[in-house]
Structure 1
């Protein structure tokens, strides 16, 4: 494990512990007392706030935010938005957590990924957007993204983007080796064997062990390892039927070395995507822009198909990535901040988001004929959004993240990750991950049950 990996794990652990210890110990007042006392506002009050001289601070890393802010300021010239990228992933969350703990310095609006949202909501750091009428927006978003922001009876963000999973594949590689596009996992494993036998330097995909990929694959298999019975009462079962369905499929892929050992997002990974030595990616709908910029030599050869399924003809997928925007309780301009959320995650902002490479979570945009019929030159002229939009409709319902998911993910490499590093059984690694997750939750004051 590199030093940078250790530092990221430590940052994630410190982040979650700092948030949760304060919350469960009853010391979270700093996250809820700063700013104006009134947290809700009517639509008229929100409209008035957007016509009042105001300055908002927004923390986020998505490249789409810059043009969204520019369009917002043009429509509402009295509102100045200071857009700040304070880092991605743990750097962003650690700085946010520090400001919450200090009771000052937090932005008005923060971008927060769906997997991290529960811990910030639990720490009483975010405004419940129901007080601004957000509950009326439910049918504007896909069920999976709305479910990710609707936590414990409150709405703590408006969805920004989504990541329904699909299979991105190299049509030229499949054609060269006479491989049909797999529609089931049995066919996918067979394709992996055929490809690697024909070319020992080629792999169906890469996987060196990643918590987000693992949980998404369990989700797609129908697993529900995390249950949130109340904000402080959760259960963890990484041995449920859906989880074992995935491990039964994926274990032979690891044992027979059918997955590339190249680490994701490395230069070598992008090179492999460019030359076709990695022939598929099982990932979220936000991937096309990354392929276009990182694997330019693959242009014209990539295509998109639905995720393989366990039952032929029965579509099923999961979300992988994505997040929303939240209003912080420290904000002194909550009405204007919520107005920014409605713009950036409503029809106008969503259109800008999609035009700049994002995949929308808004149903209107997903049903837009222009969006659906857009042909991608990189993907050989395919109308890839037709496949990706259908994927958004096929996400298996009922998924939950833990209120300390960031920490749980940070210890993945010490448990399941060891199966990839030294060999062994995924089920054993998942059990070790479960045990470590349960132990941590109990240490933080949660009631945690497991099987």
Structure 2
């Protein structure tokens, strides 16, 4: 299928390639290397931005519990690339008919760049035959779905929970079971006035961080950026309500406004007890809490997020990385078998959790003893899947659209101004959407 040349040029520009790289090629597809390998040794190539995935897949290739009985034996050669470069290089290599990987790690915020101009359809194998038997018990397929077809499998549900300092909550008289955001915000405002300590944070850094934080709360409330068809749905009562609540939290001091959830200012707030709680995905425990305040092991706990009084979930999601299989290559069938074993079997999901704390995407596994019996030393030996299982059951659906990269740039600034109290929430969202619609044609 023919691709939009302007879109390809834009993607290739991000990879540093010029228009000459297109040559006479109009279609974006993987080079044909010969007939598929039906058995034997499969030396798979994998592109990813995260060394954790590199380690997992490399180890999985020789794990008999995962690959035993396969028609293939496996080895994995990893190429490390920045998240945007994975997609840019996939496109440029395909257009130039140069070698492509067998497996590609696609960061969730970058995947929308593959949703236009039939790029995913031309480059990636349709995984729907693998996912359909699981129905809605296979979580988080929607961000990687185009026209009803799934092109990548999520590695980690990135389930958002509320992490909180149990000792500080007790000291400040904050109940651990506050039911609604509105109630917690009132408590947080009083705590901030009395002690200067905050019960949450919002980002005032770059557009990506700003929009991610807002989207996390919007999904929890029951809203979203796009619908299943890729149409923008941002202008909604839920979006206005969420942004108003976030702005109120900043104005009262209940929420700290921080540029980077992993940066020095956040680390200082955690170390000094100025930030007593935060809503973030499961991976933040490792990359945010344990990395910045390892000495606070045993003091932190996790709970499900307070609901909004107007409705929604006790759960949300933010971030993620999915793996797709490049189509029409010698090792495509072998890569499909390997990915299925690693991502769609109980053994593979348990191995992923123990390798990097990646939460299972098969919903039924959350209630099994293998996961329910896991205790987390950093969280005071809490049986953490008692929290994650509730969150997974209420995990909101997250749809993406091809224009998401533009949307982040157009709404990030207005959202930040609303958080600072410079403009109202509805005005901010309307301004951002208007700018978006001038740049992205209607679906």
Specify if TM > 0.5. Answer: yes
Alignment correspondent of 1:197: 193
Residue 416 (structure 2) aligns with: 417
Aligned match for 2:285, one of 285, 288, 304: 288
Instruction: Evaluate the alpha carbon distance shift between residue 130 and residue 158 of structure 1 in structure 2; reply closer, same or farther with a 3 A threshold.
Output: same
What SS does the corresponding residue of 2:45 show, helix, strand or coil? strand
Deviations 1:132-157 (A, max 9, x none): x31444248534x1333333121201
Question: 1:8 matched to which residue of 2?
Answer: none
Offset of residue 275 of structure 1: 3.2
C-alpha deviations, 1:371-423, integer Å up to 9, x for none? 212221211121122101210111234x4211122332244443323444683
Find 2:174's aligned residue among 179, 189, 213: 179
Q: 1:170 aligns with which of 153, 165, 190?
A: 165
CA contact (8 A) 1:160 1:325 kept: yes
CA distance in 2, matches of 1:396, 1:136: 19
Equivalent residue, structure 2, for 1:120: 114
Go from structure 1 to structure 2 and tell me whether the alpha carbon gap of 1:136 and 1:313 turns closer, same or farther (over 3 Å shift): closer
Partner of 1:265: 262
Contact 1:36–1:331 (CA<8 Å) still a contact in 2? yes
Among 218, 231, 247, the residue aligned to 1:251: 247
What residue number does 2:402 align with?
Answer: 403
**What residue in structure 2 maps to residue 241 of structure 1?**
237
Describe the superposition over 1:310-354 as per-residue Cα deviations: whole angstroms up to 9, x where unpaired.
239974422211231101236442111112211221333322210
**1:227 corresponding residue in structure 2:** 227
Structure 1 residue 271 displacement after superposition: 3.0
Aligned residues: 409
**Cα 1:371–1:195, aligned 2, differ >3 Å: closer, same or farther?**
same
Change (3 A) 1:382 1:223: same
User: What is the aligned partner in structure 1 of residue 76 from structure 2?
Assistant: 81
What does the per-residue CA deviation read over 1:106-159, in whole Å, with 9 as the maximum and x for residues that have no partner? 32111113343343244234334347x31444248534x133333312120122
Whole-angstrom CA distance in 2 between matches of 1:14 and 1:412: 21
Aligned CA-pair RMSD:
3.1
Match of 2:272 among 244, 250, 275: 275
After superposition, the Cα gap between the structure-2 partners of 1:261 and 1:245, relative to the gap in structure 1 and judged at 3 Å, is closer
- 1:392 corresponds in structure 2 to 392
Query: What residue in structure 1 maps to residue 3 of structure 2?
Result: none
Counterpart in the other structure of 1:325? 323
Alignment gaps of 5+ in structure 1:
1-12, 39-44
Residue 238 (structure 1) shift: 2.5
Deviation of the 1:309 alpha carbon: 0.6
CA distance in 1, matches of 2:213, 2:89: 26
Higher RCO (CA 8 Å, separation ≥ 6 residues): 1
Q: Give the conservation status (yes or no) of the 8 Å contact 2:343–2:349.
A: yes
Partner residue, 1:3: none
Question: Where does the alignment leave 5 or more consecutive residues of structure 2 unmatched?
Answer: 1-8, 205-209
TM normalised by structure 1 equals 0.81
User: Are 1:30 and 1:102, in contact at CA under 8 Å, matched by a contact in 2?
Assistant: no
**Which SS does the other structure have where 2:203 is aligned?**
coil
2:240–2:425 contact (8 Å) kept in structure 1: no
User: What is the CA–CA distance in structure 2 between the aligned matches of 1:207 and 1:437, rounded to whole Å?
Assistant: 23
Q: Deviations over 1:218-247 (max 9, x none)?
A: 111111341353xxxx43243212112212
From the superposition, tell whether residues 97 and 436 of structure 1 become closer, same or farther in structure 2 (CA, over 3 Å): farther
